[in-house]
Structure 1
Amino acid sequence: MRLDRPDRTALRPAPAAEWAAAQVAGVRDSPAQRIALLDRTYRGPWGRAPRHLPYRRAALSFMRWQLGRGVLNPPAARPPGSPWWRAVNDRLLRDGCEAVARAGGMTGKPSSPAVRLWDGFVAAPTARNWYRAHNASIVSAYLAHRDLAAREPLPERFFLNVVLLRVLYAHALVAAPRLALGRLAPLGRLLGDPRLGMTGFYLSLGRVLPDRYPPRAEVRAYLAHEHRLGRLLDYGVIQPRLQSLYEWSARELTQPELCELVRDGNPVYAWAYADRHVWAPPAGPLPRALAWLTASRPVSARCPPAGCRPPSAR
């Protein structure tokens, strides 16, 4: 059964979650077919979804970057890919396929809250709905695969945190521009629109992460070579509001466990709090000026206490 033009009669009796899982299983060991499957999810169950298709731009940018690094390579490849990245990509593809199948008439309850958000995007394709669905899948995968993350090389674990804070920030540009940009809030929805090219800057990450997997240098070496604009974004704009960003995202996505991945404004996903010095902003007038210019208002409510408890191990 093809996702872009399935047989309508055959589509209806099948459980959507099972069908989606089968679609992902069929492309699991082919990075190129993974991208093709992602592309088809934005074309809808019958191959024509003009209101949804523009949103594939950001999703494909993020995934092409993954393919280029080799993190989606099958285990038998030389070099093999990353079990963590493959698992996270599986989740994103599966949730998207399930939502498309449900839109086409397949039966069954959504397999996760993230699928319900994808249903919302299918029904009303807006930038905010796209981010809610996309980031709910990403955050769910982050939380579900902490064991795999802990097995990644130390530099890669640092970059997993960079990826997460970037995708959360891109969402806030659209849905909470005052939090994201402070005085520059009117620019937020334009800068964060996933249909436009600027979002690719946040989600492709080619200017900050190493070109190939696994990374072979130390974290400090990568920081020294990070693209200047990306470094200013991470440390001058995002870092000062990181705690508030994670707390807002936890509420927006209804995933309070997300608060376990930040502590005192420092990312701690598979990363020791004792090593938080890597998140310290660089000295200089420009980062300070950006932090002042984009300073956000304090959030009005924090995560539920159960969601803000510190992880048991640091």
Structure 2
Amino acid sequence: MNLTEHQLSDFQSLELKAMAYIDTIKNSPEERLTSRKEYYLKYGFADGNQYGFGNSEIDFLEWEVERGVLAAEYHARWWYNVNLKFIYYSVLGSYVFEQKLENVELPQPVQRWVDYLKNPCSSNWYKAHNTSIIHGYIEYKDMAEKESWIEQYFINEVLDRLLYAEVMVEGETEIFGSIGKILANPRLPAVDILVKIKDLYPENYPLKFKDMLNVLDIGFDIGTLMSYVLDKLIIKRNLKKIYSYISELLDIPELEKFIVDNKVTYPQI
């Protein structure tokens, strides 16, 4: 698709506007959080449910802020940059939507946000969110390689859960069936509940020894049991199917390279 000179300059100006905005929030985790809350107050399509489709994202972002991975001191680290690029895609998508730019070939994550804004629903929100996150995984692979092996393991578990949630929303899970659409609905408090379980989402960065045990599901408490059931019994047994399905759904063929012999090998892709 060819862009006219006028269209190209319009889109480039929006890119510059989005980059300038990102520069104002990048070194303040609290401002990133405020930015996303403001975004979803406008574009969460809440119907009385505070942040609407953004509820799950806000819950996860609050966990990231509390864990400290978005602090300016980690500007060259994986979590900091994947989150920042995610926000950039979303903000740029909103600018394109507001400007009503048509017949412009957009970067895939940006187009998905425009699609969500034009037709807000759980499926379109997940497509926008997960496309942006996966592109971040791919772009910042080298930064992931610098993380500890246990952090890499945890980073992969986070993606496993995220993709499985999208599979549930699409009604493609054998275990949960149609009820999965409800459980994974981004408007509902499932993520808020999960991020408060330290066995699933540790609070320290870098990970401490106790966090390592939790991430590896070594323990005898209820949190460890929940983590084991979710990650080992439900998700990991179906990783190849999950990644193949989402790769095709989102048209991101690189995602299938994350899997070797039903194991996620990121960042070695």
TM range (shorter): 0.7 to 0.9
Asked if structure 1 preserves the Cα contact closer than 8 Å seen for 2:45 and 2:53, the reply is no
2:224 to 227, 239, 246: 227
Asked if structure 1 preserves the Cα contact closer than 8 Å seen for 2:199 and 2:211, the reply is no
**Structure 1 unaligned spans of 5+:** 1-11, 272-310
2:183 to 155, 176, 191: 191
2:62 to 55, 61, 64: 64
Separation in 2 of the partners of 1:82 and 1:211?
Answer: 20
**Scaled by the length of structure 1, what TM-score is found?**
0.73
Counterpart amino acid of 1:99?
G
Quote the residue 1:89 is aligned against. Answer: 83
Separation in 2 of the partners of 1:116 and 1:86?
Answer: 23
* Corresponding position: 1:247 with 2:244: yes
Asked if structure 2 preserves the Cα contact closer than 8 Å seen for 1:250 and 1:258, the reply is yes
Quote the residue 1:169 is aligned against. Answer: 164
Asked if structure 2 preserves the Cα contact closer than 8 Å seen for 1:166 and 1:202, the reply is no
| TM-fit CA distance, 1:237 | 0.8
Question: Greater CA radius of gyration, 1 or 2?
Answer: 1
Asked if structure 2 preserves the Cα contact closer than 8 Å seen for 1:156 and 1:215, the reply is yes
Superposed CA RMSD? 2.5
Separation in 2 of the partners of 1:72 and 1:136?
Answer: 20
* Corresponding position: 1:139 with 2:134: yes
Deviations 1:167-190 (A, max 9, x none): 000111111x23x2x153021111
Quote the residue 1:257 is aligned against. Answer: 254
| TM-fit CA distance, 1:148 | 0.2
| TM-fit CA distance, 1:44 | 3.5
Higher share in helix: 2
Change (3 A) 1:18 1:205: farther
List aligned pairs for 1:18-167, cutoff 5 A.
Answer: 18-44=16-42, 49-50=45-46, 53-75=51-73, 80=74, 83-105=77-99, 109=104, 111-167=106-162
| TM-fit CA distance, 1:102 | 1.5
How many residues end up aligned between the 2 structures?
Answer: 252
Separation in 2 of the partners of 1:34 and 1:235?
Answer: 33
Counterpart amino acid of 2:178?
P
**Structure 2 unaligned spans of 5+:** 1-9
Separation in 2 of the partners of 1:93 and 1:133?
Answer: 11
Structure 1 window deviating more from structure 2 (97-106 vs 26-35): it is 97-106
Asked if structure 2 preserves the Cα contact closer than 8 Å seen for 1:38 and 1:60, the reply is yes
